[in-house]
Amino acid sequence: MKKILVPCDFTSTSNQAFRFACEIAKKNKAELFLLHVVEMPVLHSSLMAPVFAYESSYLKGVKAKVNSIFENMKSKWGAKLKIHLAVEHGPISASIKKFVLKKGINLIVMGTHGSSGIREFTIGSNTEKIVRTSSVPVIAVKKAMNVPSVKNIIFPTDLSIGSKDMINALKVLQNLFKAKLQIITVNTPLNFNSNSVIQKRFQEFIQQTQLKNYQFVVYNDVTEELGITNFTAQQKNKIIAMPTHGRRGLSHLLSGSIAENVVNHIDCPIWTYREA
């Protein structure tokens, strides 16, 4: 995670994401890229020259304003960090993905809004498009927290083996935060398994993944959604790690609808990794 991208529209949530990214960069000695994407207003004119002149003038004004805000943010949270500001114009999600490839970005940190939580990136928003299609891990942030305070990474799973790339990325995340993995599987009345069956599957899971420094929890609840929400509420100093499956939404253990409902009730950062 040596190159971290923060797409920023300078709302309070994107500012929280920038603060969190600065914390990660300090810990990991990473380079930060702050990207502001401008969606140009649509102009209808039979003469192209006036349109180009307007666009050039408009972008110049935006860049001047953005640079002023950026310098203020940098002095607050990233004074000693190597941070680059970029202003691009075009469709937001497409511009972000293009920037990731151009700069060799390893991690995206994005804000997610208020009480709507994960709905910001599960129902047609730009963040949703990035999470579901990003070639690199994404951390969605509602509220910034100090990176050194992260002690637990909650990893919900049904104990099926994910891709090796996803497991390796999870190990990198764990090493970054020096945190314990809280591996949780939820036992529900509609999908009940005996303790012996679960333990056998877990041993196979650990043998295949070779995860270290973990605690395994079998949590009994009415639904997976309630189980994960209730378990997470009991933990302190945590983030959540969830693999995603592209257009099928946030699901490894979870269907997309369950995932969005879970995260709607959780304020901690959420790391996602898109599996093929």
Mean pLDDT of the chain: 82
Model confidence pLDDT, tens digit, residues 215-254? 999 999 998 888 988 998 899 899 999 877 655 444 444 4
Q: Which two tokens stand for residue 238?
A: 């945590």
Residue type, 160: S
Report pLDDT for 112: 78
- Strands 31-38 and 3-7, by their bridges, are parallel
Question: 81 pLDDT band (50/70/90 cuts)?
Answer: very high
| Choice among 76-85, 208-217, 223-232, 248-257 with the minimum mean pLDDT | 248-257
Question: 114 pLDDT band (50/70/90 cuts)?
Answer: very low
Q: Summarize the confidence of residues 165-188 as an average pLDDT.
A: 94
Question: What is the end-to-end Cα distance of the chain in Å, rounded?
Answer: 21
| CATH topology agreement for domains 3-141 and 150-267 | yes
Q: Which CATH class is domain 3-141?
A: alpha beta
- Alpha-carbon distances of 217 from 21, 36, 227, rounded to whole Å: 30, 41, 11
Question: 266 pLDDT band (50/70/90 cuts)?
Answer: confident
Residue 180: pLDDT over 90: yes
Phi and psi, residue 173, nearest 5°:
-60, -45
Stated pTM of the model? 0.83
Q: How is residue 123 annotated by DSSP? A: S
Question: 120 pLDDT band (50/70/90 cuts)?
Answer: very low
Residue 88: pLDDT over 90: no
Report pLDDT for 146: 84
Contact (Cβ atoms closer than 8 angstroms) between residue 8 and residue 17: yes
| Choice among 14-28, 155-169, 183-197 with the minimum mean pLDDT | 155-169
Q: How is residue 187 annotated by DSSP? A: E
Taken in order 11, 12, 15, 17, is the CA torsion positive or negative?
Answer: negative
Q: Summarize the confidence of residues 62-77 as an average pLDDT.
A: 87
The rounded distance, in Å, linking the Cα atoms of 41 and 226 is 43
Owner of token pair 């579901």? 132
For residue 36, the cross-strand partners are 87
- Alpha-carbon distances of 54 from 45, 88, 90, 111, rounded to whole Å: 11, 16, 15, 31
The rounded distance, in Å, linking the Cα atoms of 154 and 62 is 40
Where exactly are the structural domains of the chain? 3-141, 150-267
Model confidence pLDDT, tens digit, residues 35-65? 998 876 555 554 444 444 555 666 777 788 8
Which stretches of the chain are DSSP H helices?
12-28, 48-77, 92-103, 126-133, 164-177, 195-209, 224-234, 256-264
- Strands 238-244 and 214-220, by their bridges, are unpaired
- Alpha-carbon distances of 26 from 79, 93, 176, 247, rounded to whole Å: 11, 27, 11, 33
CATH number (2.40.50.320, 3.40.50.620, 3.30.1490.20, 3.40.50.300) of 150-267 reads: 3.40.50.620
Q: Which two tokens stand for residue 161?
A: 């083996």
Report pLDDT for 123: 35
Contacts of 86 (CB under 8 A, 6+ apart): 33, 34, 35, 36, 99
Q: Which two tokens stand for residue 183?
A: 């591996």
Tally of CB atoms within 10 A around 217: 15
The rounded distance, in Å, linking the Cα atoms of 151 and 93 is 32
Q: Summarize the confidence of residues 7-19 as an average pLDDT.
A: 88
